[in-house]
Amino acid sequence: MLAGDLYIADDPEIEKAQRRAVRLAAEYEREFVRDPAAARPILAELLGELGEDANIRPPLYVDYGTHLTVGAGTFANCNLTALDVAPITVGRDCQIGPNVQLLTPTHPLEPKPRREKWEAAQPIVIADNVWLGGGAIVLPGVTIGENSVIGAGSVVTKDVPENVLALGNPARVIRSL
């Protein structure tokens, strides 16, 4: 799975790990409403790594959580969906708008293996100081370079270099920053 190999999506061990993630995400959301500082240890337990002063507003949706790394000083607004079948690395000091989707899973184009529930995944890397505008979608295998900005509602289908503004569907580099 993490290596990009095909796997069966409803494997019992996979389902167990996903239930853990759903439980912890729900606990995090409940506690965050009451006391954000007290909720942080729950978030740290859910994620693979949570940097100092990183802040993720609930609700947060993950497949596993353990394959999601969030750097120090990063802020993610509500409704972040990070399907971390493969590793998702978010750098330091990033800004993630509401309703952003980071999607590592892939599915076969052929009907038979898709019907049999085969899946694979490719990692996503978001470098330091990246801003993902609200509703942006980052697809499997994409790397976004340091200091870049992705416009709201953009669909990022391929790598984005550092220090650029990219937007649209599919996202295209508009200018250097």
Q: How far apart are CA 17 and CA 26, in angstroms?
A: 14
Q: What is the pTM of this model?
A: 0.95
Find the length of the chain.
177
Cα angle 121, 125, 127; round to 5: 175
Asked about 67 being catalytic, the answer comes back as no
What's the 3-state SS for the chain?
Answer: CCCCCCEECCCHHHHHHHHHHHHHHHHHHHHHHHCHHHHHHHHHHHCCEECCCCEECCCEEECCCCCEEECCCCEECCCEEEECCCCEEECCCCEECCCCEEECEECCCCHHHHHCCEEEECCEEECCCCEECCCCEECCCCEECCCCEECCCCEECCCECCCEEEECCCCEEEEEC
Fold type of domain 7-176:
UDP N-Acetylglucosamine Acyltransferase; domain 1 (2.160.10)
Give pLDDT tens digits for 5-59: 888 877 888 999 999 999 999 999 999 999 999 999 999 999 999 999 999 999 9
Domain segments of the chain as ranges: 7-176
Give pLDDT tens digits for 86-142: 999 999 999 999 999 999 999 999 999 999 989 999 999 999 999 999 999 999 999
Give pLDDT tens digits for 43-57: 999 999 999 999 999
Query: Nearest to residue 60, comparing CAs of 73, 41, 47?
Result: 47
Which among 20, 40, 57, 107 is annotated as catalytic?
107
